[in-house]
Amino acid sequence: MIEIRNLTKKYSKLTAVNNVSFNIQEKECFALLGFNGAGKTTLINMLTTSMLPTSGTAVINGYDLIGEQEKIRKIINISPQENAIAKNLTVRENLDLIASLYDIQDKDKKIAAVISKFGLNEKENVLCKKLSGGQARRVSIALAIITEPQILFLDEPTLGLDVKSRKILWDIIKELKNKLTILLTTHYLEEVEFLADKIGIISRGQIKAIGTREEILKVTGTDNLENALLSLSEEEV
């Protein structure tokens, strides 16, 4: 589904992503694990076509990242770190806006289904600026889901949320697994343990290890993901 080939992004003297190559299989939940500044968001920005790479490319469901960006945008969606919601619209109005932009058929039925799936029935007519952080994050992911993407990018989906809100979102993401391909970035080890089929550890813009949890522990000679991450990361913590 996603084949990343020598992807690199440079800013003057800084190399944010350095010659990264790996594959993500169809309907796999792939977690990109790394500390702040490791290159996670830059990689996501390139794969979602909002930023051009300095060199390298990726093939996303058969479409080349450099030459077929419009086709890629039609089959992907993203919930970014900053919630992609219109704060002065209600939950339902946000969903209706996106459904209209994407010309989604039977949009009222699909909006109702998404509101129910994300546990937002009591908030559907509430202005988004009045939502809690966890509720706003659910709306952000709902906006990405209603377009029925083949690939969903989640950039730090539970960043800054309390334990209860985080668990609600984990359950929602877990339900989406095996229905579409998911690439999520995070530095929460519990998130990786709960959701990921496969893990990539990134540090200083380079992929240091890729595999299942057990494979990464074996390669690093550690007994838990925390020690594996620390052993492979060069960022200051």
Q: Where are the domains of the chain?
A: 26-53+150-237, 77-148
Q: What is the pLDDT of residues 99-110, one digit of tens each?
A: 999 999 999 999
Burial class (CB in 10 A: 0-12, 13-18, 19+), 164: exposed
| pLDDT beyond 70 at 176 | yes
d(CA 236, CA 168): 31
Q: Taking the model in full, what pTM does it have?
A: 0.93
pLDDT bracket for residue 131 (50, 70, 90)? very high
Handedness of CA 166, 168, 172, 177 (dihedral sign): positive
pLDDT at 237: 59
Average pLDDT over residues 1-16: 95
| pLDDT beyond 80 at 186 | yes
Mean pLDDT estimate for the chain: 94
Which strand (E) or helix (H) includes residue 164? helix 163-176
d(CA 82, CA 119): 21
pLDDT at 140: 94
| pLDDT beyond 80 at 83 | no
Q: What is the pLDDT of residues 204-232, one digit of tens each?
A: 999 999 999 999 999 999 999 999 999 99
d(CA 158, CA 81): 9
Q: Which residue in 99, 80, 95, 101 sits closest to 153, CA to CA?
A: 80
Place of tokens 């020598």: 6
Helix/strand/coil for 113: helix
What is the CATH number assigned to the segment(s) 26-53+150-237?
Answer: 3.40.50.300
- Of 235 and 13, which is predicted with more confidence? 13
| pLDDT beyond 70 at 236 | no
d(CA 234, CA 38): 9
Average pLDDT over residues 162-184: 91
DSSP string, 183-212: EEEE--HHHHHHH-SEEEEEETTEEEEEE-
Average pLDDT over residues 15-33: 97
Average pLDDT over residues 145-174: 91
